[in-house]
Structure 1
Amino acid sequence: MSKMLYPPSPVIADKSFLLPNANFKKQAVRVIVSICCFFFVYPLVVLLAVILGCLGVYFGFWLMSTQIGLLTLMLGGAILVTSFAAIYFVLQFQFVRLGREKISHIEITEVEHPVLFDFIRQISREAGTSFPRRIYLSQEVNASVFYIPTFWSMFFPKRRNLVIGAGLINALNITAFKAAMAHEFGHFSQQSLQLGGYIYHVNRLIYSMVRDDERVNGFIEGMEKVNGVLALVAYAADILVKAVMYVMKRLYAYVNRTYMSLSREMEFHADMVGASLAGSNNAITSLVSTEYANAAMNALGDKLNLLFAEGKVSRNVYLNHRSVMLINAKSRSWEVNNGLPLIPDNFSKSFATSRVNYKDQWASHPSLEDRSTSLKALNIEGITDNRSAWELFESPEKVQEEISQLFYAEVDITRATVITPAAFEQFYTGEITRYALPAVYLGFYDGRNIDLKGWDMDEISQETRLRTFDEIYNESNGQLYNKIRRNQADLEILHAIRTGKIQVNTFDFDGKKFGADKAATLAAALEDEIEEQELLLKELDKEGFVLFNNQDAAIGNQYHSLKLEQQFVEDFLAIAIEIEQIITPFYNHELTVTYITDTLDAMKQQQIPKLKALLTQVLDKQWAAEEKWNSRISAFIKADYVYFSQNSIPPGELKELESVHSNVGFINEEMIALRSILSEVHGKNIEWLFIQFKALLERQLEIPEIRDMVAV
């Protein structure tokens, strides 16, 4: 390998910071104790449940043999059946077979990519760890270490595999990539990672038991239908099984909370390994670039879905990913070096917007800000090589195209057309422009619409106290809606702390520490603050209307049209929700034929006519003039769907009480047509409402007097 592609590591005299600290050791001990506790308590609980079940079996036989009679035979038989069932439900999980998990990665070899393998081998040497058993590429913006857990792997460690996400490679320069790989080799060196195998088996065992709760309920319901005596005895067995499940859930919480605490310490330690080989600066760059690239990949995924709906696919998703990152970086006025955005150091702080901070016991990773702070404290400076990490690969574009196929693994793309990188970039910038509101409003309307419900525009227009454009549309007011949303999110957190859904002893609010018992008081104060902010936002909306309407009375007509459109969207959503609430039980429950037919008859007489009346109005809207929408909506209006036919039920599915399982007897094409017309037309209604709202905001800025006030 060319030495020029492997950046030299920082010279560090004292590497004692790489040794596990006291908190790391403490958390490791806690995990070991929790695992030992599980393997001590679990057999005892199962044994006790089995003993109680066996006692039930014994009592059932005794009752049937000593007190012969119809009642005792029924009761004894019921006790026998339910006792055996309880023993079965408890014991079946001891023999859960661990199937192999599907791995959606592509293995690469040293023959294919010798430079990359030499690069990774050098990192493993410097980190003092073994080379990976295998190396895979995935489509993700991530890197990870894994192995296939087996029973014996709990006692005999297996060599670990390395997975490198193509999205991660796409976002990093060579030194940041080195930091990311060194971080993973930090995990390779951690003996505590072996504990993950135990946690895996504990979770599989508990999950298999807990998820079977539905089968237990089904058994009770079945017994109840047969005989009331059977149901009574079955409930007793149900209490036994539920008690076991309760203990298992508590054990699950205990074991996993302790492991998550260790996991966070393992991440801090792996970060230190990354910094020791690449520098704190490059380790931080790796973290923030990964976060940024992940957000870009999520945005890209949404756009790829839209394109696929139009029959278009991308041959190289990672060229598109790079375009999204660069376009978004340009909108933030970030510099670009060698095709990669230079992300500012304070980028991590943009994620820390909550006023409520608490130690999340279920988080596997520390926050980005905490990790950056920890790395800065090390103060290890490494050189920076701004060349793309793709230079470590042979034929990067070929690799990118191969990994890109994973995005379409679950769909048929044989008839799709390929969109070029330039066409994708044009499409993406067009989508941004399409949904961008005029910047001169300074974000005041971003993410929302004006709530015009209850507005008396004639009365509001008589308002004599006028604010200027700058008094309404300034930086402070532009952030008002975002502040409301953040406060609402914080309010949910406070309520979760108050009710115990988030279990913490203390938390920080606005930088001050409080006990959990203060969550209710703070929540009440925050509710008042949100109410004041919402009132202010409504007043500013009205004052904006007065400002523009006084300059051009025709603006009032557009506001009135927007109000009517909002009401229409609300009406359509209301009827869609009504229908969804009616048909959802059909998919989740076993219902009688009489109930289904009566419910559908009522829906066809009440909700469906209302829906068709609204759809008739939709046909008058501009977006519905498009042929595919006009013909589809018209066809639904004309159709007389029955949705369910008793004649289509297979004889074996129709039971004594004429109950049928979900989907049986339903005419799928008609049910799908109903549900899709509800969701898709609602989506188009929302989109059309936004288009009208944006047109209104742009029209306001065309008023000559307003144009003179601001530099548009």
Structure 2
Amino acid sequence: MSAALYPAGPAHVPADLAKPSGRYRLLVTATLLSIVLFLAVYVAMVAGSIKLFVWVATFRFESYSFWGLIFHLALAIAALMLTAFLLKFAFKWNKDEDDKRLRLVPESHPELVAFIEQLCTETGAPRPKHIYLTPDVNAAVFYQHPLLSLVWPARKSLLIGAGLVNALTLSEFKAVLAHEFGHFAQRSMRLGSYVYTANRLLHDMVFGRDKWDELLAEWRRLDLRVSAVAWGLTGMVWLVRQALALAYRGVNLVHASLSREMEFQADRVAVQVAGSDAIVNALYQINRASWAYQTSLGQLGTALEHNLVSDDVYYHQQLRLADCPPAPPAFRHAAAEALAQPAQLFTAEEVTTKAEMYASHPADYLREQSAKQPYVAAPADDRSPWLLFQRPEEVRQLVTRKLYPDSAAKHPVRPAAEVEEFLAAETAELTYDEAYAETYDVRVISLIEPEQLDALAAKLPADCDLLALRQELYGPELRQRMEAHQSRKNDLAKLALFISGEAREATFTVDGVSYPAAQAREVAKKLEAEESAHKLWLSEFDERCAGLHWRLLAGQPERRAAWQARYALQLHLRLGILLTSEALQQLQQLVDGIMAAGQVQPNQVNHYVTQFEQLRQRLLGLITTARSTTLLPLRHLEDLATVADFVMRDLHFPTAAVLSGDWLNGFGHVLEVTLDRYRRLYYKNLGVVLRLQEEAAAEHAATATPIVAAVPEATVAAD
């Protein structure tokens, strides 16, 4: 590797910077003990169930009647099923999903391999067994065979996300890989494999439901003389699951603490070879890169509906990165040598939750504090890590194909720039004027029937200045109200954590006032009342807007007809969003109820089927209306005649409801896709409505006669 591609490290590094702390060693011991305790309990339960089965199978009553024999046989079957329940998950492993990994051939990327080898030498970590490239924004070390690594020394492999390479500088890339090599050197990583194995076992036993549960449910439905034992087994399994749920939380609580300490430790390895700023800047950029990557995937999903397959997702990610809000001045601009106190990129969250005890990674602001105590300066290399790859364009395209496993074979792959033209046009149609203060961005407008428009227009003064009134509607008050609304939403989300008991703090702040946690419900009620008043104001705002523009369009008959047709379509699309979102929510509530109960009793089957069928009929009614609703021309949808032509494209409407996982999954999928497509149509058509209103205002301004106040005759004479 050319030395020029390996960023220089810090000139001065404390000797014991990467030395494991006492807390780290203590947590390793605690995690090991928790795993040993779990294994001991689990083995004891299995041994007990086997002993119970042997005892029941070999026990003999003094005499047997027919039902006594059946009862004895049922007991033996129940004991065997209990043993099977405890053992079956140990042999039930999901296939490793590696279909999106691209294994790199070392000879094809000598610069990257040399970079990694030099970094391994500098960090004292062993070389990875293999290097894999994936499409996402990620970097990780992993055992390819977690079960084998529990009993046999195994080399770890390195996973690099192309979305990460695409967003970082060379110095940041070095810091991220050094962090991962810090994990390479951690013997405690093997404990992670034990925890991973225990977690899969516990999770499946506590939360998993399969043919075993279905068999037990069928047994319970038999005659009580036969099913009594099944009911007893059900209670026993429930107790076992509750006990294992406690073990699941305990093992994860201890290991989560160790995992967070492992992250701090790996960060210090990164600081040792790349300096404090590189790893902190990388953490900040990874958040932005993840948003840009996910946004690109969402947009490319829309393009795929039009048979457009991009050859390079990272072309789009770069453009979306440019759309991110400006980074703070401290990002990639700290003059480390001149700073007495290093600038901070991250700030502490106002509210922390108890769930963070189970988080595997510390909060970013804590990682920044750790990485800068002490602060280690290092020169920055702002070049792209793609320089380490041979023919990076080809690599990007190969990884992109992993995102289109089926579609690339069905549709021709297009240059990313060509697909971006489609996305830019789509975004333009969905981008509204800043004067609307995001009033329409995520909100469904109030229901105003076309018959109400004349009456709403008549409420305006006969001689009012329509343009001045429009400017007032979309003026400072609207922006202030929308900002206050967003602030209340954030406050209500925060208060929900206190009301549910998830927040760890004893106080909270709303509008600059500090309150004790006990007053969260009271303050939330006040904010909810303000939100209700805001919704009422928005409803009146929508009426004023509709009346104003209906009046404004009175002298523009062609544009008024176009606006009226668009508005009628908007009402149907509004109904589609509300109906499908409500149906999806109700479906989820019904499924949650079934999952919470664990099983459905025979007398409940008809109840659930009836509820599902009612939801299906509501969707059927909506689609029937959509088939007769003309879809007015929208960008990229000009060839579709009705709303249903787009909403139901490539979708199969579900048959009559039945209580089965396949039917529920299929119906849920149809609802989700239908809702997404209705939303797309709604906001695209709304953009056309708003532009028609803007055009009407512009024409009115160009043609309207200025209003001149009448001057009293006596006043003129006096002058």
The bucket for the TM-score relative to the shorter chain is 0.7 to 0.9
- TM superposition shift of 1:169: 0.9
Give the aligned partner of residue 367 of structure 2.
371
The answer as to whether partners of 1:179 and 1:275 remain within 8 angstroms in 2 is yes
Q: 2:149 aligns with which of 136, 147, 153?
A: 153
The answer as to whether partners of 1:154 and 1:197 remain within 8 angstroms in 2 is yes
The answer as to whether partners of 2:9 and 2:273 remain within 8 angstroms in 1 is yes
**162-171 vs 573-582, which deviates more?**
573-582
Q: 2:682 aligns with which of 683, 686, 689?
A: 689
Give the aligned partner of residue 239 of structure 2.
243
Deviations 1:620-659 (A, max 9, x none): 755699554549759999xxx99479xxxxxxxxxxxxx9
Taking the aligned partners of 1:691 and 1:203, their CA distance within structure 2 comes to 45
Give the aligned partner of residue 509 of structure 2.
510
- In structure 2, the residue corresponding to 1:171 is in which secondary structure? coil
- How is 1:415-564 mapped onto 2 (pairs within 5 angstroms)? 415-452=410-447, 458=455, 462=459, 468=472, 472-473=476-477, 476-497=480-501, 502=502, 506=505, 509-510=508-509, 521-536=519-534, 538-539=536-537, 542-543=540-541, 546=544, 549=547, 553-554=551-552
Taking the aligned partners of 2:4 and 2:530, their CA distance within structure 1 comes to 60
- TM superposition shift of 1:616: 4.5
Taking the aligned partners of 1:565 and 1:9, their CA distance within structure 2 comes to 62
Taking the aligned partners of 1:158 and 1:114, their CA distance within structure 2 comes to 24
Q: 2:290 aligns with which of 289, 294, 317?
A: 294
Deviations 1:209-257 (A, max 9, x none): 3355444432232223443212111111222222222222211111012
Please tell me the residue identity of whatever aligns with 2:419.
F
Residues 678 and 131 of structure 1: CA distance in aligned 2, closer, same or farther (over 3 Å):
closer
- In structure 1, the residue corresponding to 2:357 is in which secondary structure? coil
The answer as to whether partners of 2:499 and 2:520 remain within 8 angstroms in 1 is no
Taking the aligned partners of 1:690 and 1:100, their CA distance within structure 2 comes to 40
- In structure 2, the residue corresponding to 1:371 is in which secondary structure? helix
**113-122 vs 574-583, which deviates more?**
574-583
Please tell me the residue identity of whatever aligns with 2:524.
L
- TM superposition shift of 1:76: 2.2
Give the aligned partner of residue 36 of structure 2.
36
Give the aligned partner of residue 10 of structure 1.
10
Taking the aligned partners of 1:605 and 1:134, their CA distance within structure 2 comes to 50
The answer as to whether partners of 2:175 and 2:278 remain within 8 angstroms in 1 is yes
Residues 335 and 282 of structure 1: CA distance in aligned 2, closer, same or farther (over 3 Å):
same
- TM superposition shift of 1:377: 3.9
Taking structure 2 as the reference length, the TM-score comes to 0.78
- In structure 2, the residue corresponding to 1:365 is in which secondary structure? coil
Q: 2:178 aligns with which of 171, 179, 182?
A: 182
Taking the aligned partners of 1:217 and 1:359, their CA distance within structure 2 comes to 30
Residues 121 and 525 of structure 1: CA distance in aligned 2, closer, same or farther (over 3 Å):
same
Q: List alignment gaps of at least 5 residues for structure 1.
A: 646-658
Residues 454 and 359 of structure 1: CA distance in aligned 2, closer, same or farther (over 3 Å):
farther
Residues 610 and 186 of structure 1: CA distance in aligned 2, closer, same or farther (over 3 Å):
closer
Give the aligned partner of residue 105 of structure 1.
101
Residues 189 and 312 of structure 1: CA distance in aligned 2, closer, same or farther (over 3 Å):
same
Give the aligned partner of residue 654 of structure 1.
none
- In structure 2, the residue corresponding to 1:510 is in which secondary structure? strand
Residues 535 and 346 of structure 1: CA distance in aligned 2, closer, same or farther (over 3 Å):
farther
- TM superposition shift of 1:171: 0.8
Taking the aligned partners of 1:438 and 1:52, their CA distance within structure 2 comes to 73
Taking the aligned partners of 2:246 and 2:435, their CA distance within structure 1 comes to 54
Taking the aligned partners of 1:387 and 1:681, their CA distance within structure 2 comes to 44
1:205 matched to 2:201:
yes
Residues 555 and 50 of structure 1: CA distance in aligned 2, closer, same or farther (over 3 Å):
farther
**690-699 vs 417-426, which deviates more?**
690-699
Please tell me the residue identity of whatever aligns with 2:484.
L
RMSD: 4.9
Give the aligned partner of residue 195 of structure 1.
191
- TM superposition shift of 1:428: 2.8
Taking the aligned partners of 1:636 and 1:92, their CA distance within structure 2 comes to 42
**42-51 vs 562-571, which deviates more?**
562-571
- In structure 2, the residue corresponding to 1:136 is in which secondary structure? strand
Taking the aligned partners of 1:685 and 1:231, their CA distance within structure 2 comes to 49
- TM superposition shift of 1:567: 5.3
The answer as to whether partners of 1:141 and 1:293 remain within 8 angstroms in 2 is yes
The answer as to whether partners of 2:138 and 2:164 remain within 8 angstroms in 1 is yes
Residues 492 and 621 of structure 1: CA distance in aligned 2, closer, same or farther (over 3 Å):
farther
Taking the aligned partners of 1:140 and 1:216, their CA distance within structure 2 comes to 37
Q: 2:270 aligns with which of 267, 274, 277?
A: 274
Taking the aligned partners of 1:387 and 1:245, their CA distance within structure 2 comes to 53
- In structure 1, the residue corresponding to 2:103 is in which secondary structure? strand
- TM superposition shift of 1:389: 0.7
Identity %: 23
Deviations 1:543-572 (A, max 9, x none): 575488568734799999888666534654
Taking the aligned partners of 1:287 and 1:138, their CA distance within structure 2 comes to 19
Q: 2:132 aligns with which of 127, 133, 136?
A: 136
Taking the aligned partners of 1:603 and 1:544, their CA distance within structure 2 comes to 32
Q: List alignment gaps of at least 5 residues for structure 2.
A: 336-341, 555-559, 703-719
- How is 1:601-612 mapped onto 2 (pairs within 5 angstroms)? 610-611=621-622
1:252 matched to 2:248:
yes
Give the aligned partner of residue 714 of structure 2.
none
Deviations 1:681-703 (A, max 9, x none): 65444334324433454455553
Please tell me the residue identity of whatever aligns with 1:693.
L
- TM superposition shift of 1:379: 2.1
**488-497 vs 421-430, which deviates more?**
488-497
- TM superposition shift of 1:451: 3.2
The answer as to whether partners of 2:24 and 2:258 remain within 8 angstroms in 1 is yes
Taking the aligned partners of 1:642 and 1:146, their CA distance within structure 2 comes to 41
